[in-house]
Structure 1
């Protein structure tokens, strides 16, 4: 059974409040310790990307399903540059581009990225403890 946990709009200046709400809801849903910290960090990275690169705002949805806590972040930006999504290597040096998505791939059990000229949706999950 799929159960909605949190649904929120966000923008610049509201990510800290959203991150706290995510941490609270994720803990209530059974994430603890390192899994909780990693999930909240992933949410922070992806929501920050939406604000910085995806039009300044976005929507977050969290739900519980199949022993996992899921998060979907959607923005209305111009989409990701062609060709970068296949690269699983960490960004080098001081590159800012791609670090948040790479980190989310490392921190979460599953991630899906759908991007086009009308925006990007990143969906990721963490196994519940």
Structure 2
């Protein structure tokens, strides 16, 4: 998933739990402005919220979010200083207390990629502009 923004993406940062509600508002507003239908913007907002919450619970410091549209999709990078996340583990058992966030992200996005780089770990989400 190599779609890089052709123009400056929308960007926001988060550092503490109180930043999560404004971050969700930011993602929904800009995803919709980029052409993502409301129900799909809600899915992207949920995915970003899960990743940002994960950042705040499991890493030092906060993170950044970048949103843009290209090639019929809305892309969103969630970047933090934590380790590379292990996707593809599936949903945990029904009685598990934790561990659903990454599985939810994988199920609700059309594509998810993760890589480590100079700026930290980047999870790139993609949702098609059109409803499936």
What is the aligned partner in structure 1 of residue 45 from structure 2? Answer: 40
Task: Kindly indicate whether residue 99 of structure 2 is the aligned counterpart of residue 94 of structure 1.
Answer: no
Per-residue deviation, residues 32-60 of structure 1 (Å, max 9, x unmatched): 23211111111111111111112240111
Task: Kindly indicate whether residue 57 of structure 2 is the aligned counterpart of residue 52 of structure 1.
Answer: yes
What is the aligned partner in structure 2 of residue 3 from structure 1? Answer: 7
What is the aligned partner in structure 1 of residue 104 from structure 2? Answer: 103
Whether contact under 8 Å (1:45, 1:100) holds in the other structure is yes
Structure (1 or 2) with the greater strand fraction: 1
Cα distance in structure 2, aligned partners of 1:85 and 1:33 = 26
What is the DSSP-based 3-state SS (H/G/I as helix, E as strand, rest coil) of the residue aligned with 1:4? coil
Alignment: residue pair count: 123
Whether contact under 8 Å (1:3, 1:65) holds in the other structure is no
Gap runs ≥5 in structure 2: none
Q: CA deviation at 1:3?
A: 3.4
Gap runs ≥5 in structure 1: none
Question: Normalising by structure 2, what TM-score?
Answer: 0.81
Task: Kindly indicate whether residue 28 of structure 2 is the aligned counterpart of residue 23 of structure 1.
Answer: yes
Question: Normalising by structure 1, what TM-score?
Answer: 0.83
Cα distance in structure 2, aligned partners of 1:52 and 1:10 = 13
Per-residue deviation, residues 2-46 of structure 1 (Å, max 9, x unmatched): 333411111111111111011111111111232111111111111
Call closer, same or farther: CA 1:86–1:27 in 2, change over 3 Å.
closer
Task: Kindly indicate whether residue 129 of structure 2 is the aligned counterpart of residue 128 of structure 1.
Answer: yes
